[in-house]
Amino acid sequence: QWHALDKSEQQKYYDMAKREKELHLQMYPGWSARDNYATHTKKKKRKKEAGVNNSCPHNLNCKSHFGLDQHHNWCSDCRLVMCCSHTFNI
């Protein structure tokens, strides 16, 4: 449809856009399109120490903290390890 219009018809819309641009510059003089985008820095991956379970919130693991009879209080990582250790010991 745009290409079907005469040049004079198209010029009318170009003029409207130019007026809107000037109005925007007056209303927001310091605005930049870059304000819409944040600069992100790359996050460095940390290496985990071997043999230490840092995901458990307790100093020891949940098995030694709560005991076997209170396994419902264990964190999800310790529950997963318990589940895996049971399946391997069968």
What pLDDT digit, counting tens, does each position of 13-41 carry? 999 999 999 999 999 998 888 877 777 76
Gap between the Cα atoms of 20 and 5, Å rounded: 21
The DSSP code for 5 is S
In three-state secondary structure terms, 8 is helix
Tell me: the pLDDT tens digits for 31-89? 888 877 777 767 777 776 655 545 566 556 777 777 778 877 888 777 777 655 554 44
